[in-house]
Amino acid sequence: MTDTKDLFKQIYRNKFLRPSSLIMFLNKMDIFAEKLKYAPLENFYPEFKKELNDEMTDEELFDVAIDFVKSLFSKIKGNDRRPLYMHTTNATDTRNVGE
């Protein structure tokens, strides 16, 4: 995810894109949900641990993890007023992909 954040920072700060709103798709959410079970996010981002509690369901953990990941990218945006729209998708789910 570090490489992705670095790439996003380059794109977001690109002078040619300054007048543009940006849309970010966090894809493959099914894979992300599975990886959370075997590679806890707090192993890579210790600050994520404070977001957790022992009674969370897998679905609640997933939702909190997504919010955390979105916050990582929002921090790159900082105080910039340019709109950044973030969406989660699963491209294999035809309900998420238009014709």
Alpha-carbon span 53 to 3, nearest angstrom: 28
Name the residue with tokens 């992300």: 32
Query: Which residue, 23, 26, 27, 24, is CA-closest to 91?
Result: 27
Torsions phi, psi for 83 (to 5 deg): -65, 140
28 is in an annotated binding site: yes
The amino acid that residue 17 corresponds to is L
91 is in an annotated binding site: yes
70 is in an annotated binding site: no
Q: Which residues are annotated as a binding site?
A: 27-30, 91
Q: Which residues are annotated as a binding site for GTP?
A: 27-30, 91
